[in-house]
A and B are shown apart, each in its own frame.
Chain A
């Protein structure tokens, strides 16, 4: 257990509404990641963070923004949700503090449905 929680775990919303998903970690790891998982696509990186207020785009960042004002929290925001953003969203943390080791551990996921 890497001490990762995600909230909410399930959400149904309507097209055009803003949505914020929260990832919380208890172990002060520097690197945090947001992925989405869709059938046929596997896990795709949306955004990542390498420290407080340090974030960057991943493979599928359009329509998403992120913020990290504290080490323990990484927020993913859909400014205006669309049906194509219906997905399962996973947060992950990298637990190694340096070197080439790169073990990422995942949270339990948030299932988002946009109607």
Chain B
């Protein structure tokens, strides 16, 4: 049973480009969470999704950021028109019903 898979591990974008981060949850997990970690800061919740539904997006900026978890395929976190302040590590976690979280290895986004 593979763990939570995130790709790419590292992503470099120029200002104004789009960034797409992918997360495949563990088999059997229907809950996906995205977190952002800035240097020297704790992880911050962004969005919580179940299949085809956004349950809680209260931690996600209203503009430029979107997330989806389609019926088939990985969850996608999309950042449009990236700015330098978007540079961070983005972690995805999945869970079964019991709240225990399993994290992926993260995507390090660098905006030039």
Whether both chains belong to one complex is answered with no
**B→A interface (CB under 8 Å):** none
